[in-house]
Structure 1
Amino acid sequence: MAAQTSAKEARMDASKIEGVAKIGIECKKDADFPKWYKQVLTRSEMLDYYDVSGCYILRPWAYRIWQEIQKYIDHEIEELGVENSYFPMFIPAKNLEKEKEHIEGFAAEVAWVTKAGNNNLHEPLAIRPTSETAMYPYYAEWVRSHRDLPLRLNQWCSVVRWEFKNPQPFIRNREFLWQEGHTAFATKAEADLEVQQILETYRQVYEDLLAVPVIKGVKSDKEKFAGGLYTTSLEGYIPTTGRGIQAATSHSLGQNFAKMFGISFEDPRGPLDGEVRPALFAWQNSWGFSTRSLGIMVMVHGDDKGLVLPPRVAAVQVVIIPCGLNAKASDEDRLSVEQSVANVLIQLKKAGVRAKVDDRDNYSAGYKFNHWELRGVPVRLELGPKDVKNHQIMAARRDNGAKTTLHQATLVSEVRDLLETIQRDMFNRAREIRDANIVFIEEWKDFVPVLDKKQLCLIPWCETSDCEDEIKEKSSRSGLAATEVQDEKAPSMGAKSLCIPMEQPVHKKLIKGETKCVSCGKDARRWALFGRSY
């Protein structure tokens, strides 16, 4: 009951005050980021709070973005030979407990079903936090020969992780949507190649669709997937809070799960000296991309007016608003505007532009401007009687507010060019801000001050787990972090390793035996990205 009350209060606080629905954003992004984020999501109608804490309703405005992401990922992975499938959400306890290191990594997050109606279940059922242990017993049945490999399946589903005290929409949900790919190969080389191919697909989604810059990297041993061989990831940056955020992951599982679940195949080389060779274990990967991406997009691009949506994923790319039709407007002017607006809509839709007309007669043009700005529509077209006569139309960009006059004769090509320009500018602007806030740190005395400036630290690092623990502990009790209240699953106050970038700095090469780790003084192996994080 407490969780339900909390969720209801949060929903009411986000959208209403004293019973009156609010339509604007009442706080500045830089002044009260949590409140701003909540208001943007609810008042733009992307999301609503549900009566279970940590669970949220994705409204059509958000779900359409998720569908664009689904469409893109599906196309890319199908080209790689991955097929879509679906496995049940319930996992028998015996399956989940089979792989000890894996279950220890998820133990605190697992939600259990122990009762059906009035009867206790003979065996508790876990609601999937991830599906390795649901899928791999069946992989063991399906793989017998090297001819059965590669086995490459993906599923779009929801998962449940119930471990934290402070949920945050999209960023840390108890239930969230994602895709999870699970693949098996005969060789490590094939598996390693796929890890990189999937990570590149995820990068394209963030940078080419969502206009969010990300860094490709490898996780430290401490941060890698529980039970896996190594983890690659995309790391984002939220400028307003100065925190890094894990955006997506592609894991090499090695042969650990294959050995636990018996995913093996006959050696294709046949008998040796008349003796049957031992079976070979498959090399496996798992990889996932979730609705966390929507939250990252909102945090990076949103402003004090609300959402700013990248054109390639926006449910509505262009909104057309009739203007200049006051009470004194003639019937002839009204008819000419209506006909012109209808013609513009037809042209844009025929060209594949997601366009909409706002012809509500109970709201002023100014109200409609604010309405669609809040929802982040990339382009607003304003069309009045004078525009019709002059064969032109006014276009306003949501991302920077710039206005320009378009010609009706070349409208479609101009709108298309404008949408591409907005998409490109949004990414470049976000990347410039991100790059300006990654600081090379070569002495510990500079580490915490940079964190306190809401920046990330790129440091020479020894890559040991003890040093990583030490960095987090030292940065937790220094600077601003020392005065903040921490929750184990809320944004981290101490710095953690975000990733070891795959593209190492070329202008600051480490010298073997000379370059030392910033924290412990041991020989540094690579540059690593550290920061406070979500």
Structure 2
Amino acid sequence: MSDDDGDAEQELGVTKSKEYETGEWYAEVVQKAGLANYGPEGMSGFIVTRPRGYALWERVQSALDAKFKDTGVQNAYFPMFIPESYLEAEKDIVEGFDPEVAWVTHGGHEELEERLAVRPTSESIITPYISQWVRSHRDLPLRVNQWCSVVRWEATETKPFFRTKEFLWQEGHTAHADRDDAWEETMLRLDQYESVYEDVLAIPVLRGQKPEHDKFPGADTTTTVEALMPDGKSVQGATSHHLGTSFAEAFDITYSDEDEEEQLAHTTSWGFSWRALGALIMTHSDDQGLVLPPTVAPTQVVIVPIWQADTKADVLEYAEGIRDDLADAGVRVELDDRDTRNPGFKFNEHELNGVPVRFEIGPHEEEDGEVTVVHRPDGEQSTVDRDGIVDAARSHLDEVFAKLYADAEETLEGEVREASSRNEILGTIGQHGGYVKAPWCGDEDCEAEVKDQLAAEIVMVPFADEDDRRGDDHDDDCAVCGDRATRTAYFAKTY
């Protein structure tokens, strides 16, 4: 290895510890793995998403978009600017988002007659058009979704993908004839979000609903999937809102039923953002760099040929044949045949970039008709035959996914603890992090007491059919105030 290679290899390495310097480690992985850069000076809270980072978003977007379309959703696009009068038509929206709204006051040199909000969410621009499109019960259910960016002028500390002032997301909006149909829609979207986290991102989640005081402004119910990060904090992975008739009343979404009677529609909205990428990076990556499940990795298999001058031609020909077979089968494969880098540098670089499976091919592999296979992140190594290489590659990709999911699942299962008193909640979260499951009276003041002392909050309460402790027959006392408990709450620190 030349001195130049050594210097470059040192530059590739991650210098911060995931366990002890989680925030700095995360930022270093995002930048050194080529996922994003910070925005221009003076634009704190904005990022530039690089091609490798955007490719991850495209993979997740494609998986989720397919699920939507298979269940009757059509994509549309609405203006990014919302007239102030539209936003004020639903006063709860203004109350909930006003501190974070960015406003446009001038067009060119002319002052606008009415301020325009840069969308913090789009209920108030989409719902008026739904009201135009819905006239009869035959128009229902109506389902539209848009992929776009939104702006929320966060006052808190920002972090790439987890919390930025502008972020990419999808927001779906639907109208239905009755409450039950709208609720089924709400849960269908929550199911799809859960599936993307678990089946695409290899991240197990908890599901439930937000407490009454933390639901989406104007909603009847906000449902959520929550993902636990290795540092013990929870990420709100996605939300699906049952809006009831509040938006229909504000924007006059009515329809004629079968008896020609005018009825109010029931609506939903649901959203999933690139916060999922933050959860992906944080959950699986390590001190060597990015770790990706094969489902979203831009490159699933990298082939690194290892040669001497007299074996180069044969090794490369053998490696090229394997690359072609994998590519023809739809495997995202890269042959790293650069002359300017030695194999050790290539190994480190592809580990930093999160390539799930590495094929090492030298003269011995070429002579014996074999391939050496190495997994990321645990470095497990094995040998497979050249014959059947496509099936072998797929099998190893499945193994890597299963390892990542199992590790994340073990972390989650070990970080849900129960508490029956305020001191137990504070002590458990303070010492261990993770989720603390406790009986709760439903009073916001009890959450506020925990939040004030520990910056932890109620991230969700389980659904009635998923927690037999919820309801009027709850036998426990609230862990905070001692009054009769009516719900079970999951407390955690959050991103």
Which of 392, 404, 409 is matched with 2:382 structurally? 404
Secondary structure of residue in 2 paired with 1:319: strand
Output aligned runs, 1:198-213, within 5 Å. 198-213=189-204
Q: Distance in 2 between matches of 1:512 and 1:188?
A: 26
Asked if residue 225 in structure 1 is aligned to residue 216 in structure 2, the reply is yes
Q: How far off is 1:21 after superposition?
A: 9.7
Contact 1:500 1:528 in 2 (8 A): yes
Which of 272, 285, 296 is matched with 1:313 structurally? 296
Contact 1:308 1:375 in 2 (8 A): yes
Q: How far off is 1:267 after superposition?
A: 3.3
Q: Distance in 1 between matches of 2:388 and 2:127?
A: 56
- 2:401 corresponds in structure 1 to 423
Asked if residue 442 in structure 1 is aligned to residue 432 in structure 2, the reply is no
* Cα distance, 1:47–1:378 mapped onto 2, change above 3 Å: same
Q: How far off is 1:466 after superposition?
A: 2.5
Note the residue ranges of structure 2 that are not aligned, 5 or more in a row.
Answer: 1-7
Q: How far off is 1:20 after superposition?
A: 12
Secondary structure of residue in 2 paired with 1:269: coil
Q: How far off is 1:460 after superposition?
A: 1.1
- 2:314 corresponds in structure 1 to 336
Q: Distance in 2 between matches of 1:249 and 1:243?
A: 18
Q: TM-score w.r.t. structure 2 length?
A: 0.95
- 1:29 corresponds in structure 2 to 18
Which of 510, 516, 530 is matched with 2:477 structurally? 516
Contact 2:9 2:345 in 1 (8 A): no
- 1:525 corresponds in structure 2 to 486
- 1:468 corresponds in structure 2 to 447
Letter in 1 for 2:410: E
Letter in 1 for 2:364: K
* Cα distance, 1:125–1:20 mapped onto 2, change above 3 Å: farther
Output aligned runs, 1:277-316, within 5 Å. 277=261, 279-316=262-299
Contact 1:87 1:135 in 2 (8 A): yes
Deviations 1:320-371 (A, max 9, x none): 0011x24xx31xx111101001001011111111000111101110000000
Q: Distance in 1 between matches of 2:446 and 2:113?
A: 45
Q: TM-score w.r.t. structure 1 length?
A: 0.88
Q: Distance in 2 between matches of 1:261 and 1:505?
A: 36
Q: Distance in 2 between matches of 1:228 and 1:422?
A: 40
Letter in 1 for 2:236: Q
- 2:97 corresponds in structure 1 to 106
* Cα distance, 1:148–1:229 mapped onto 2, change above 3 Å: same
Secondary structure of residue in 2 paired with 1:222: helix
Contact 1:461 1:516 in 2 (8 A): yes
Tell me which moved more, 518-527 or 91-100. Answer: 518-527
Percent of aligned pairs with the same amino acid = 40
Contact 2:462 2:488 in 1 (8 A): yes
Asked if residue 269 in structure 1 is aligned to residue 269 in structure 2, the reply is no
Q: Distance in 2 between matches of 1:63 and 1:450?
A: 38
Number of residue equivalences: 484
Which of 330, 339, 349 is matched with 2:327 structurally? 349
* Cα distance, 1:513–1:174 mapped onto 2, change above 3 Å: closer
Q: How far off is 1:54 after superposition?
A: 1.2
Output aligned runs, 1:55-204, within 5 Å. 55-204=46-195
Which of 338, 348, 373 is matched with 2:351 structurally? 373
Which of 244, 251, 266 is matched with 2:234 structurally? 244
Q: Distance in 2 between matches of 1:202 and 1:412?
A: 30
RMSD between superposed Cα atoms in Å: 1.7
Q: How far off is 1:308 after superposition?
A: 0.5
Tell me which moved more, 518-527 or 84-93. Answer: 518-527
Q: Distance in 1 between matches of 2:149 and 2:346?
A: 35
